[in-house]
Structure 1
Amino acid sequence: MTVAVVLRGAWVALGMALVASAQGADAPPAAPAQKVMRYAFPVAETGFDPAQITDVYSRIVAANIFEAPLTYDFLARPVALKPGTTVGLPEISPDFRRFTFRIKPGIHFADDPAFKGQKRELVAADYVYAIKRHYDPRWKSGNLYIFENAKILGLSELRARALKNQTPFDYDTEVEGLKTIDRYTFVVTVAEPMPRLAYQFADSAVAGAVAREVIEADPDHAMQRPVGTGPYRLAEWRRSSLIVLERNPNYREVFYDATPPAGDATSQAIAQRLKGQRLPLIDRVEVAIVEESQPRLLAFLNAEHDWIERLPPELTGKVMANGRLLPNLEKRGLHLERMVGVDVSYSYFGMENPVVGGYTPEKVALRRAMSLAYDVQGEITLVRQGQGVPAQAIVPPQMPGYAAGFKSEMSEHDVGKARALLDLYGYTDRDGDGWRELPDGSPLVIEYAAQPDQQSRLLQEQWQRAMNALKIRIEFKLAKWPEQLKSSRAGKLMMWGVNWSATVPDASDMLGLMYGPNKGQSNHARFDLPAYNTLYERQSVLPDGPERESLIHEAKKLGIAYMPYKISAHRIVNDVMQPWVFGYRRHPYLRGYWQYLDIDPALRSRSLQP
């Protein structure tokens, strides 16, 4: 430390002492230090409009700004729904076709110029408008399938009319399936039984209430002007660089109330310490976009970030061993949250692509051969550093429909079988250059979309190794995540490798990745097999039980047989927190969780002292 710095510190200390002396004993106490949480996303956001976003990181931000009618008990396991903006859980008819939601009076949106200086109360019509926006062709909602699959009466017809006539979507026409009964009550009516539909109304990033006047005041900027009733509001946004949320001054009185599992001492301690405290506990959240894993980890280890969500697998060895933090990090007071994610890591085949798509035997053989040549265990060991479990089908652990003892070709690695399959269906080297051609003799070149980050590069190496073993050419088309997502939804990619996290505790959420009508939304592979679609529709209307489990199992087997997705792993998620972060427990489905976390500024200050 230089002499100048020491002198400057002394003058500052003297000045503060003189001010305190002049104020005297009657001076008001200093305001408590603002609680600020800082961390990073590994990929850039796309925006914050529930009707337009589909990526997980944009949805995390949106879920902390908007509010759905329902939410989850933050600590309860198994997960449990609880009222969000409603006075109770929805009233559900015995046939699971009518759902009545009653909104609490006195909830207000964050301030916005569209409200002309008045406090704007949340009403039932705001939810009706928010759901209708997913049907409006203008927004190209990637979440439309959620409501379309529910078959809400009249809304699909309203959308079809707008598409046919090339006219603006008619928000003012009331439909049978979505009605306001009074100022605070709305009813959803569906064509067929939907026993698990209520879960969809607990996702604030999809079913969050929006104010019509805000959207209509500036529709072209809905992605950057999120105005909700939630605990936070957007304070600053530098695209692909920094997202800042601050406490919403209009947020109503909500107090911490969660139900910890009986055998979970950590959750019980959290509930005991935080019970009754007003939410949100943190005043400000600053999220940087740091795409490379090494700088993201260094920022955390240097205490520039308060926690690191989803520790990059390739850096696991720098932080933990055998499922525990390294001793030097434990001494610093860091703590680890670890669980098998309710998600899948996969590479999809574009089913409408002329090279890898199609349903004929030779096209199915190509996809299955490529999948057999891919080393799932190698991915888990080399890329994920052991932080994953091999996937056998599209339904992940902790979800109804997952079969713990089931094993399938999905996890099999057999290059010999793969080569034999290619030979049998005519994928041979016809011109003697050492590389296989298509059965008609035309070139066979695989184009795999990827991102220019470290983990993507490691996954590319795995696919390169597999294709070299089969003598199939593969090229990697690199672009940033938002660009790849846009191309994928438009059906322009031959292959792409991503992760999909479940949003509700319902196997339909994952099976929907292969449901034909979901093409261009959750179904990035654009798989559309009538037999599969029938199974999906049959299981969706049944209550949980053996009959539904059997249909789910048959649907999974069709996905394995036709291989539109090579599902490699269910990731083990490792979240690491600084000692001054309190209250975190990873929830499988809840994205709007920032309000439940706490920061101890005093402990942070003491911990950072030299």
Structure 2
Amino acid sequence: MKKSSLNKLLLAFMLVLLLALAACGGGDDENSSSSNDSNNNSGNNDTEESNDEDEDGLYSIDDFSQYVSNEGEPIEGGSFTYGLVSDTAFEGTLNWNFYSGNPDAEIISWFDEALLTWNDSYVYTNDGAATYEQDGNTFTFTIRDNVNWHDGEPVTAEDWAFAHEVIGHPDYDGIRYGSDFTNIVGMEEYHNGEADSIEGIEVVNEKTLKITYKNVTPSLVTGSIWTYPLAKHIFEDIPVAEMSSSDEVRKNPIGFGPFKVDEIVPGESVTYVKNDDYWRGEPNLDEVTVRVISSTTVVNELETGGVDSVSSFPTDQYPDNADLSNVEFLGNVDRAFTYIGFKLGKWDAENGEVVPDPNAKMANKKLRQAMWHAVDNDTLGQKFYHGLRWNATTLIPPSHPEFHDETNPGRTYDVEKAKALLDEAGYVDVDGDGMREDPDGEELVINFASMSGGDTAEPIAQYYMQAWENVGLKVELTDGRLMEFNTFYDRVEADDPDIDIYQGAWGVGIDVDPRGLWGNAVSNYTRWTSEEQLELLEKGVSDEAFDLEYRQQVYNEFQELMVEEVPVFPTVYRSVLVPVNKRVVNFAIGDGTGVYLHELGVTEEEPIVAE
């Protein structure tokens, strides 16, 4: 790399770091839209806590435990306050069948859960509220007799079937309908109005449901089975098109989890009381409050005992607060990653398919490759996150180690390579102003959408734009500013023509299958597909994919293809840091922990305050 390019990069980092230091408080830079699932899982504790900073000032997620070390006895009753760290209000779509954003999922997880749980390999077990058996392409599910809705009505097979009927209904306005549902025999005919019922779904009796799938794939037992019932006795008289906006979702949500919703302050907080009739047993706590707190106030809330724990701690604030005396920091590799996406087509809602546009502004593959080579995500992870986020290489994150191809380097930071690719593609500076025109000699302005949230959001967006300017690309924020979380995803999902590229974050489900994110699905916001890509994605869930080595090879080829085509590129993999007040017991983060919410307790009436 030429010395002048290096100097420009260093100046860019100095600029954004100064911006970060000048901001008040602290915060995280992205919110994630995720396919979150119930946190009631099973597994073993096999880590020890040691949150030591390395000599170079960097931390490692490997040094954190998933489990609190406090082993005291919980007092009878007590309350617990949970901070939902967000710089925007939660939307309030409080039902698994309709929600789309992670903040709502955080709210739902306290009062509702999946009927099936999974182990630390992300495979469904028979330890949850329902069990399952497989006979060829047919799965038989049995809901336990003591599993009841919060109003005392039993959770039934009809409720489970009803959830499928609603999601498959043509008037359904959520994002769940996709390949997991079209794999059910008769679902497409039902969805298209050619049948009044779903052939492959049979209610055997009150507690037994049978579902027959067209293809039995490895994904079925690692996340593709829809495990969230919908209370038919409550929703059956509501038109499907009105369900997501109904009071039954927004104001009076119901579940069968360990806590019941008592009060909602829209967008701000939810108060729960314990569900004495919870199927696993009576919860230790009498009350839980979840309230939205800003990333700029999270440290003060923890210090003063305003919250006992938070959804996630802004990693950029950790070094200054690692020794906070009244909390214990837990950590884990997140099932998520941050990425830059390129808008390359449209979503055809009528036909339910991605339609790539060969004339899209970002359609040139070398342009996209160059924009990845132009950014130094490794340094960004170190400077902004002190090693607690790190350079991402492929679209399958290390949270799924069996399928993440650690030998694939992605596209490494290489400014000269980026410039050469742009030259080859015909993006050259025609008028001598230092910025490249498009291959037709016309001005090229790339509109960039990025979310607000925390101190680092603005400087990181500015860094990316500066890095692209260093290779001659003019990139500007859409509307000249960062977007609020809900507005951002509304506009990205709607294929707003004022967005050419965007910085987002996806949570990856327990199943590694990438079809829901990058296949022919509404949540593939890049709107790019190819014949080879779709073929690989189908191979990943084929009969042959029951052979682990075969499935690994398929997903390695998928990761390689996406590094070549770059409809999207990952920027950083993410860690989750969760501080927990030292009065808290029976608390863990992550999947497969074997710690359940009804066990959560406190050893003192009031939170411990920082010294």
The TM-score, its normalising length taken from structure 2, stands at 0.77
Tell me the equivalent position of 1:237.
264
Q: Would you say 1:90 and 2:93 are equivalent positions?
A: no
Secondary structure in 2 matching 1:193: coil
Tell me the equivalent position of 1:275.
none
Q: Is the 8 A contact 1:359 1:562 kept in 2?
A: no
Aligned mates of 1:369, 1:58 — CA distance in 2: 36
Q: Would you say 1:340 and 2:333 are equivalent positions?
A: yes
Q: 1:378-420: per-residue Cα shift (whole Å, max 9, x none)?
A: 220122222123222111114254346413233x111111011
Tell me the equivalent position of 2:184.
152
Pairwise CA distance, 1:133:
1.6
Pairwise CA distance, 1:298:
1.9
Tell me the equivalent position of 1:507.
512
Tell me the equivalent position of 2:205.
182
Pairwise CA distance, 1:147:
2.2
Tell me the equivalent position of 1:9.
none
Which AA in structure 1 matches 2:174? S
Pairwise CA distance, 1:593:
5.3
Structure 1's 591 and 460: CA in aligned 2 closer, same or farther, altered over 3 A? farther
Pairwise CA distance, 1:57:
2.2
Q: 1:70-91: per-residue Cα shift (whole Å, max 9, x none)?
A: 1136xx57876343222xx311
Pairwise CA distance, 1:537:
0.5
Aligned mates of 1:306, 1:569 — CA distance in 2: 28
Aligned mates of 1:557, 1:567 — CA distance in 2: 13
Structure 1's 589 and 58: CA in aligned 2 closer, same or farther, altered over 3 A? farther
Structure 1's 53 and 590: CA in aligned 2 closer, same or farther, altered over 3 A? farther
Tell me the equivalent position of 1:309.
311
Q: Would you say 1:574 and 2:577 are equivalent positions?
A: yes
1:44 equivalent among 77, 89, 105: 89
Pairwise CA distance, 1:599:
2.1
Structure 1's 295 and 581: CA in aligned 2 closer, same or farther, altered over 3 A? same
Secondary structure in 2 matching 1:470: coil
Tell me the equivalent position of 1:414.
414
Q: Is the 8 A contact 1:232 1:246 kept in 2?
A: yes
Which AA in structure 2 matches 1:90? Y
Comparing 430-439 with 573-582, greater Cα deviation is found at 430-439
Structure 1's 405 and 36: CA in aligned 2 closer, same or farther, altered over 3 A? closer
Tell me the equivalent position of 2:118.
72
Structure 1's 580 and 126: CA in aligned 2 closer, same or farther, altered over 3 A? same
Aligned mates of 1:357, 1:422 — CA distance in 2: 20
Unmatched segments (≥5 aa) in structure 1 = 1-30, 112-118, 163-169, 256-277, 321-325
Q: Would you say 1:246 and 2:273 are equivalent positions?
A: yes
Aligned mates of 2:572, 2:357 — CA distance in 1: 23
Tell me the equivalent position of 1:143.
176
Aligned mates of 2:609, 2:568 — CA distance in 1: 47
Q: By percentage of residues, which structure has more helix? A: 1
Aligned mates of 1:231, 1:555 — CA distance in 2: 40
Structure 1's 584 and 250: CA in aligned 2 closer, same or farther, altered over 3 A? closer
Aligned mates of 1:333, 1:63 — CA distance in 2: 26
Aligned mates of 1:555, 1:342 — CA distance in 2: 18
Secondary structure in 2 matching 1:49: coil
Pairwise CA distance, 1:244:
2.3
Tell me the equivalent position of 1:479.
483
Q: Would you say 1:601 and 2:597 are equivalent positions?
A: no
Pairwise CA distance, 1:135:
1.4
Identity, % of aligned pairs? Answer: 20
Secondary structure in 2 matching 1:314: helix
Q: Which has the larger radius of gyration?
A: 1
Which AA in structure 1 matches 2:198? V
Aligned mates of 2:327, 2:552 — CA distance in 1: 41
Tell me the equivalent position of 1:495.
501
Comparing 358-367 with 124-133, greater Cα deviation is found at 358-367
Tell me the equivalent position of 2:166.
133
Structure 1's 79 and 359: CA in aligned 2 closer, same or farther, altered over 3 A? farther
Tell me the equivalent position of 2:529.
528
Q: 1:537-584: per-residue Cα shift (whole Å, max 9, x none)?
A: 011122141111111111111111111111012112221111011222
The TM-score, its normalising length taken from structure 1, stands at 0.77
Secondary structure in 2 matching 1:447: strand
2:234 equivalent among 208, 214, 221: 214
Structure 1's 382 and 216: CA in aligned 2 closer, same or farther, altered over 3 A? same
Secondary structure in 1 matching 2:525: coil
Aligned mates of 2:400, 2:76 — CA distance in 1: 43
Structure 1's 554 and 419: CA in aligned 2 closer, same or farther, altered over 3 A? same
Q: 1:489-536: per-residue Cα shift (whole Å, max 9, x none)?
A: 2222422222222221x320x354221x21x22x12122111110111
Aligned mates of 1:485, 1:392 — CA distance in 2: 24
Aligned mates of 1:424, 1:77 — CA distance in 2: 45
Secondary structure in 2 matching 1:144: coil
Aligned mates of 1:92, 1:178 — CA distance in 2: 14
Which AA in structure 2 matches 1:85? A
Secondary structure in 2 matching 1:570: strand
Structure 1's 215 and 498: CA in aligned 2 closer, same or farther, altered over 3 A? same
Secondary structure in 1 matching 2:571: strand
Secondary structure in 1 matching 2:267: coil
Aligned mates of 1:568, 1:488 — CA distance in 2: 18
Tell me the equivalent position of 2:42.
none
Give matches, 1:269-348, under 5 Å.
278=282, 280-291=283-294, 293-320=295-322, 326=323, 329=324, 332-348=325-341
Higher-RCO chain (CA-CA 8 Å, sequence separation at least 6): 2
Q: Would you say 1:123 and 2:156 are equivalent positions?
A: yes
Pairwise CA distance, 1:183:
1.7
Unmatched segments (≥5 aa) in structure 2 = 1-74, 347-355
Aligned residues: 511
Tell me the equivalent position of 2:350.
none
Structure 1's 37 and 445: CA in aligned 2 closer, same or farther, altered over 3 A? same
Tell me the equivalent position of 1:61.
107
Aligned mates of 1:350, 1:362 — CA distance in 2: 8
Structure 1's 609 and 540: CA in aligned 2 closer, same or farther, altered over 3 A? closer
Pairwise CA distance, 1:471:
2.1
Q: Is the 8 A contact 1:135 1:141 kept in 2?
A: no
Secondary structure in 2 matching 1:174: coil
Pairwise CA distance, 1:237:
2.0
Q: 1:118-149: per-residue Cα shift (whole Å, max 9, x none)?
A: x4222101000012221123232212125236
Tell me the equivalent position of 1:273.
none
Aligned mates of 1:83, 1:433 — CA distance in 2: 65
Q: Is the 8 A contact 2:78 2:601 kept in 1?
A: no
Structure 1's 132 and 49: CA in aligned 2 closer, same or farther, altered over 3 A? same
Tell me the equivalent position of 1:108.
148
Aligned mates of 1:36, 1:310 — CA distance in 2: 16
Q: Is the 8 A contact 1:243 1:288 kept in 2?
A: yes
Aligned mates of 2:94, 2:359 — CA distance in 1: 37
Which AA in structure 2 matches 1:212? K
Which AA in structure 1 matches 2:422? L
Aligned mates of 2:328, 2:123 — CA distance in 1: 23
